[in-house]
Structure 1
């Protein structure tokens, strides 16, 4: 028996709707065309069934605090730094504006390991999002928990070096500079109160990032929009992403896509060529 076995299989069910107002705010955040009805682009599910913890139940980092009681969906792994490290997503059906949403979440696995930077905790969460009674998105989300940073630890990531990104190696390419306004809007859309995305002193002094950190799902949303531009809306059957390095607000990101042997390879890169997110997709 493992320490966290009591959490395996634990489920949480949330309900929501996708009103026109939320759809329009999501589209406005990404400078996409407004619409009054119809299917929304892939990625809108990131904004549905968002965290519901009351203010008094938030931890220092802004995430819902974890505890050992039966009300805590996540196990109380004693590592303070939390990161959304990866997701594997299946798109089963488009989500329409006005749809009634339910999402069933299940703790699929919990593990602790020793890494090069210290102890690591891994939690896989399975989500099934249903829209108007039809399964729409199946996702396995991997969360990583890490030790606290020493107050004198080097800031991460290093400042951009002398290298560069070569767009000639990719079929599709664009640049974007996520600024604090974009980070704030995405945090609001997803009801994400993690302080690394909006509290610069906390991000720097406590978690030792060089600046505000760009959300992994925000960059994944940009990649999904690139795929939609190349392949058509709601064309993807699957999409997977993995965060490999932090992206910092107000710094240029390269968004890229190219065919691969089994679908498409996508990624985001810093100005010096450092990869930030690795992703893949199938149609």
Structure 2
């Protein structure tokens, strides 16, 4: 833990051609017609620049071993805590694009359930026309669960004044398809036995970026399909595949709205703001 600060400033770069197949897969997941638009939708960048670690380099949870790009944090449980995105120029199929990722901060803390380490990674995606997107991605690492208890805190209640309620019924196929689109090997999204026995959860966990993508999509649809400029979101509590959940929100002004995910018991799962 004493040398985690050494990772601040560490960078990695990936270059690839943005391909249409992932956009068609995204449209299919969202139950939309294909072929999809060639424009990468908000959240669609998470389907590109994917890790391709060797099978022998994967840890028990399905993620790559830490200590290469991410710091060697001695806490096994990894969750997506939230992020902040700014959209500049459109990214579309056929673009030759480059993603630069930089470790911005590594912050150990002591939480109610024990030690925590927060890692913030900045991503910049550029194409031949310049900067397309900037993202600050927050990760949290926690200790292993004990005696089948996941260590989740008592959830706060979600707001009750949402005007755009949409019910989502997650299932293992939906989660598998999103994992496939993002080449995400994290077992909490597809291995129910691992979720229950190793991490103490009652079911499969819906991906944090999938929830963020659903909220961005809702915000764009309800704000007259305008171009999204900024999106900030925070994950509070997990959503499982065992029961339906709700995405909702309301307009705050002509150029801003608040959207959130409400769990099956009325708990706040994700809260976000979108600016246009």
TM-score normalised to structure 1 length: 0.90
Which residue, out of 82, 99, 121, partners 1:86? 82
Aligned to 1:32: 32
Partner secondary structure for residue 15 of structure 1:
strand
Alignment of 1:109-258 (within 5 A): 109-153=105-149, 166=160, 169-233=161-225, 235-258=227-250
Structure 1's 10 and 154: CA in aligned 2 closer, same or farther, altered over 3 A?
closer
1:272 pairs, out of 253, 265, 271, with 265
- Aligned residue for 1:224, secondary structure, equals helix
Report the counterpart of residue 106 of structure 1 in structure 2. 102
The 1:122–1:204 alpha-carbon spacing in structure 2 relative to 1, beyond 3 Å, is: same
Structure 1's 25 and 181: CA in aligned 2 closer, same or farther, altered over 3 A?
same
Q: How many matched pairs?
A: 274
Alpha-carbon spacing, 1:36–1:211, altered in 2? closer, same or farther (3 Å): closer
Deviation at 1:3, TM superposition (A): 2.2
In structure 1, C-alpha distance between the alignment counterparts of 2:128 and 2:47, rounded to whole Å: 17
Question: 1:65-84 residue pairs with structure 2 within 5 A?
Answer: 65-67=65-67, 72-84=68-80
- Separation (CA, whole Å) in 2 of partners of 1:36 and 1:172: 25
Indicate conservation of the 8 Å contact 1:100/1:131, yes or no.
Answer: yes
Please list every run of 5 or more consecutive structure 2 residues that lacks an aligned counterpart in the other structure: none
Number of the residue aligned with 2:60: 60
Q: Does the C-alpha gap of structure 1 residues 229 and 223 become closer, same or farther in structure 2, counting only changes over 3 Å?
A: same
Once residues 9 and 130 of structure 1 are traced to their aligned partners in structure 2, the CA distance between those partners, rounded to angstroms, is: 19
Unpaired runs of at least 5, structure 1: none
- The Cα of 1:33 is off from its aligned counterpart by 3.2
Instruction: Map Cα deviations across residues 102-154 of structure 1 (whole Å, 9 max, x no partner).
Output: 10000000110111110000110000011334211100001100001113426
1:188 & 1:138 partners in 2: Cα distance?
Answer: 24
User: How far off its partner does 1:155 sit?
Assistant: 8.0
Q: Secondary structure at the match of 2:165?
A: strand
Separation (CA, whole Å) in 2 of partners of 1:214 and 1:86: 14
Matches of 1:170 and 1:138 in 2, distance apart? 28
Q: Is the 8 A contact 2:102 2:123 kept in 1?
A: yes
TM-score calculated relative to the size of structure 2:
0.92
Structure 2 CA distance for aligned equivalents of residues 36 and 47 of structure 1? 14
